[in-house]
Amino acid sequence: MESATLTVTDGLAVLTLNRPQAANALDLSLKTALLDGVRAIAADDSVRAVLIRAEGRNFCVGQDLGEHADALSTTPDRAMDTVAEHYNPLISGIAALEVPVVAAVQGACVGAGLGLALAADVVVAAESASFATAFTAIGLASDSGLTRTLVDAIGAVRTRAFILLGTKISAAQAQDWGLIAQVASDDEHAATAEAIARRLAGGPTAAFAAVKELVAASLPSLEDALERERVAAGPLAATADHRGAVEAFLAKRRPDFTGR
Ligand SMILES: CCCCCCCCCCCCC[C@H](O)CC(=O)SCCNC(=O)CCNC(=O)[C@H](O)C(C)(C)COP(=O)(O)OP(=O)(O)OC[C@H]1O[C@@H](n2cnc3c(N)ncnc32)[C@H](O)[C@@H]1OP(=O)(O)O
């Protein structure tokens, strides 16, 4: 089964996360397939809008921690290379798309999954969806551009508390904070997101590109945030807190943080 699928019809590219059996956790196969999909979209002049969606109960629960635990034990010095090889080019690739990008979110949208959703221009969430960063729960700080996209959306004060406290918020709270554009019923969110994406695919594409360029130019650099996050991830991956927290998650027990 393909970890992600891409279809393009009538100018709308639909990129689907397809690991529902693993809550769309980002393993190497899914990260690679998403990167390939975004690059194919960027190279396809027929695409006028993008919908990013996911199969199953959860949009994306972030990095696959089983794969991460393996990497930490077998290739510890390279475990965080995936940030530079996959996460950063994926987020910057989505953000660099000149056409409008809609994300349809249901269930858990966590960690790099949240980064993926916030790289889109319009997020439509099912009312039962939830949003969390999860990084500090496993001894990490942030990545996937969230130290810029979250600050842009909800401000530095809320972002700091959101990440430090590892809060999980509802779709209604996310909309109230200005984190997402729209909430729809669980039954209607997928159709609502697709209808918005199809409307954008039939709209003034050049004007939409200008809107995205003008708004991006008014903000601090996403690339700089991604690079700072990448540099910060390496030392954290080497901490006993990070490794112990990943093992604890997989063993379904609470981590014991020692501060080292
Ligand atoms: C050469 C190749 C090398 C490859 C290198 C790989 C190393 C990668 C380096 C990492 C880089 C940094 C990573 C980056 O920061 C991005 C991140 O995303 S960090 C954050 C990662 N995500 C999490 O920590 C979330 C963990 N999950 C949760 O907090 C909760 O599961 C939830 C998402 C809030 C949902 O909670 P619930 O609804 O209660 O559901 P469950 O907890 O019972 O989960 C259901 C089921 O799914 C499994 N699962 C959930 N999340 C993950 C996950 N991230 N990875 C793997 N599996 C996950 C969970 O275990 C349950 O499984 P089951 O018990 O039902 O089998």
- Rounded average pLDDT over 9-20: 98
- d(Cα 243, Cα 64) in Å, to the nearest integer? 14
Q: Where are the beta strands (DSSP E) in the chain?
A: 4-9, 12-17, 49-54, 101-105, 108-110, 122-126, 130-132, 168-170, 182-184
Question: Regarding beta strands 12-17 and 4-9, do their DSSP bridges make them parallel or antiparallel, or are they unpaired?
Answer: antiparallel
Determine whether the shortest distance from the Cβ of 28 to ligand 1 is under 6 A.
Answer: yes
Determine whether the shortest distance from the Cβ of 25 to ligand 1 is under 6 A.
Answer: yes
Report pLDDT for 75: 87
Phi, psi dihedrals of residue 105, rounded to the nearest 5°: -115, 130
- How many beta carbons lie within 10 A of that of residue 100, not counting itself? 23
Is pLDDT above 90 for 80?
Answer: no
Question: What percent of the chain clears pLDDT 70, i.e. is strictly above it?
Answer: 100
Q: What is the ipTM metric for this complex?
A: 0.92
Is pLDDT above 90 for 144?
Answer: yes
Determine whether the shortest distance from the Cβ of 139 to ligand 1 is under 6 A.
Answer: no
- Rounded average pLDDT over 59-71: 95
**Given 3.90.226.10, 3.40.50.150, 3.40.50.1380, 3.40.50.300, which CATH number is that of 4-202?**
3.90.226.10
What is the token pair recorded at 126?
Answer: 């099912």
Report pLDDT for 86: 97
111 exposure class (CB count in 10 Å sphere: 0-12, 13-18, 19+): buried
* From-to residues of CATH 3.90.226.10 in the chain: 4-202
C-alpha 64 to ligand 1 mean position (Å): 5
Cβ proximity of 42 and 31 under 8 Å: no
C-alpha 60 to ligand 1 mean position (Å): 9
Determine whether the shortest distance from the Cβ of 61 to ligand 1 is under 6 A.
Answer: yes
**Residue ID of nearest Cα to ligand 1 atom 27:** 61
C-alpha 69 to ligand 1 mean position (Å): 11
* This model's pTM is above 0.90: yes
Which residue is it, tokens 């080292």?
260
Is pLDDT above 90 for 221?
Answer: yes
- d(Cα 175, Cα 254) in Å, to the nearest integer? 30
Is pLDDT above 90 for 155?
Answer: yes
C-alpha 231 to ligand 1 mean position (Å): 22
Q: How far is CA 228 from CA 10, 100, 102, 224, 243, in A?
A: 39, 26, 26, 6, 21
Report pLDDT for 29: 97
Is pLDDT above 90 for 77?
Answer: no
Q: Which of 21, 28, 32, 63 to mutate to test the pocket of ligand 1 (most atoms within 8 A of CB)?
A: 63
Q: What mean pLDDT is reported for the chain? A: 97
82-121 pLDDT per residue, tens: 999 999 999 999 999 999 999 999 999 999 999 999 999 9
Residue 129's closest CA among 119, 138, 117? 117
Question: First-to-last CA distance in the chain?
Answer: 40
